[in-house]
Amino acid sequence: MPPRILILGAGPTGLGAALRCVELGYTNWKLYEKNPTAGGLAGSLRDSKGFSWDFGGHVFFSKYKRIHDLIQTLGSSFFISHSRRAFIHLFGLHIPYPFQQHLEHLPQDISRLCRQTHATDTEELSSGKDFKTWLEKKFGPHQYRIFFCPYNTKVCGYPLSELSSTWMDQRISPPSHIEQQKNWGPNSRFYYPVQGGMGGLFQSLAQRVNDFIAYDQEIIQIDPINRTIKCQSGLTDSFDMLISTGPLTKLITALRPNAPETIESSARRLRWNSSSITGMGFRGATDKKATWVYYPEPQFSFHRVSALSSYSADVVPDNNPDRFSSFLCETTLVDSTKVPSSAEILSNLYNTNLSLPVEHKELVSATQIFLPYSYPIPTCDREHHLSILQSFLESNSIYSRGRFGGWRYETGNMDHCLLQGMEIIDRLLLDKKETVYRMP
């Protein structure tokens, strides 16, 4: 009999694995999802007023052919294509993104200061340097002080000196070839579902494998010795190989009492942050000047605002962006950080007043979503602890993948996660090498 594969979580990684099983004609598998719908951290919800809200500022893009091939199966009318119009709010101005490629938009004296100490790519930077040192040497002390330090500290919630710089390849634009890189980045052109918000993508993919998905089944215990799982409902199942796509820390907790203290100790050393997502829906036409804006300055409680209603008409009531507009505001939370109120978010939005002009619009809906896991933090000791954890798990035929399963923000986008799911099935069933998630 072929080995029994269990998949935990119907987010992008779990669905990628599920879809690959079906593609290969493999049937001895089951997927367990704790929520009533698929999507995970890439999901969406529709509030009582008719606005749709994503669980974060999600847009879809990919460089991978396998992902493009998958997306094309949804049909040419599934997505709307957009050009990124992103800005950074500083000094009462909106500086085009990426910051380091648009210094000419800063006030003249500040622009001159940044250019005088502009570092270049010719400087050798050891991969072992911390993120703070990497940024200071890469962009110079003034760009670091004005933008890179306040924004990255705000979005991460941790001192940058505690973070590694080994994850930066596709996340920060280098200072070289400035004129050629004004539209740098894989998301310079992105896609968004016509219907259902970003969660609509994963709802559509899940429909292809729904016969294999058990919804509303939260896993509370995993026995690596007897190779069984137990759900909160009392349901049990056995496995030969287990693919876990939820947070690695929660996976280790579910293994108790069969996880040694050394394993639990490494899991406790992993760091992450949480997010408060505040959706603000207004009566008034959608403004399409910006797709999203970054806010490094401390007077704004959020670090990013996405003009969600400019992506698709379906996310506002009556499919009518001429009458309604919506903005998704993301705030990082660490430990006991106070969750900003809707009133505070609204006041902050009114003060943005350039690319997101909401001051003359009537508030219709305010929806807050708490995400206990938002960004896995790439601390300097992350690789050491991941090596210990992943080696232990794989010795027990457990494979932890995905944004928080693999605990790598650098390969935590939706396309990365879909492909991680596909590739772990290829490894287990076809003995192929994984290319997206690299073992520590």
pLDDT at 177 over 50: no
Q: Are residues 75 and 192 in the same domain?
A: yes
Mean pLDDT over 334-362 rounds to: 77
Alpha helices in 94-232 (DSSP H): 108-116, 131-139, 141-143, 149-156, 199-206
* pTM as predicted: 0.93
In this prediction, residue 338 carries a pLDDT of 83
* Interior angle at CA 144, CA 183 and CA 276, nearest 5: 75
Q: Are residues 373 and 383 in the same domain?
A: no
Gap between the Cα atoms of 54 and 72, Å rounded: 22
Q: Are residues 234 and 355 in the same domain?
A: no
Pick from 68-72, 182-186, 290-294: least confident: 182-186
**Does 180 map to a domain?**
no
What is the pLDDT of the chain when averaged over all its residues? Answer: 91
CB 25 within 8 A of CB 54: no
Q: Which amino acid is it at 342?
A: S
Q: 168 falls in which pLDDT band (50, 70, 90)?
A: low
Mean pLDDT over 247-254 rounds to: 98
Q: What residues are paired with 281 via a beta bridge? A: 326, 365
Q: 91 falls in which pLDDT band (50, 70, 90)?
A: very high
In this prediction, residue 1 carries a pLDDT of 84
Answer with the residue of higher pLDDT: 128 or 301: 301
**Does 175 map to a domain?**
no
Q: 173 falls in which pLDDT band (50, 70, 90)?
A: low
Q: What domain range is 235 assigned to?
A: 5-36+215-269+379-430
Mean pLDDT over 135-142 rounds to: 90
| Of 378, 397, 413, the domain-final residue | 378
Q: Which residue has the tokens 């997505």?
A: 79
HSE at residue 202, side-chain half, CA atoms within 13 A, is 31
| Of 360, 378, 396, the domain-final residue | 378
**Does 311 map to a domain?**
yes
Structural domains of the chain, count:
3
Q: Are residues 299 and 344 in the same domain?
A: yes
Q: Are residues 60 and 89 in the same domain?
A: yes
Q: Are residues 194 and 312 in the same domain?
A: yes
pLDDT per residue as tens digits for the range 38-51: 999 999 999 999 99
Q: Are residues 278 and 353 in the same domain?
A: yes
Q: What residues are paired with 94 via a beta bridge? A: 89
Helix (H, G, I), strand (E, B) or coil at 252: helix
pLDDT at 337 over 80: no
Gap between the Cα atoms of 296 and 298, Å rounded: 7
The helix/strand count (H/E) of the chain reads as 12, 19
**Does 89 map to a domain?**
yes
Q: Are residues 298 and 153 in the same domain?
A: no
Mean pLDDT over 140-159 rounds to: 95
- Report CA 358 to chain centroid distance, whole Å: 26
Mean pLDDT over 322-329 rounds to: 94
**Does 173 map to a domain?**
no
Mean pLDDT over 321-341 rounds to: 90
Q: Are residues 15 and 123 in the same domain?
A: no
Q: Which amino acid is it at 354?
A: L
pLDDT at 186 over 80: no
CATH code where residue 397 lies: 3.50.50.60
**Does 20 map to a domain?**
yes
39: nearest Cα among 5, 3, 14: 14
pLDDT at 181 over 60: no
In this prediction, residue 128 carries a pLDDT of 57
Mean pLDDT over 321-340 rounds to: 90
pLDDT per residue as tens digits for the range 362-411: 899 999 999 999 999 999 999 999 999 999 999 999 999 999 999 999 99
**Does 250 map to a domain?**
yes
pLDDT per residue as tens digits for the range 204-247: 999 999 999 999 999 999 999 999 999 999 999 999 999 999 99
Q: What residues are paired with 79 via a beta bridge? A: 193
**Does 178 map to a domain?**
no
Q: Are residues 189 and 318 in the same domain?
A: yes
Q: Are residues 389 and 370 in the same domain?
A: no
Q: Are residues 263 and 350 in the same domain?
A: no
- Report CA 226 to chain centroid distance, whole Å: 34
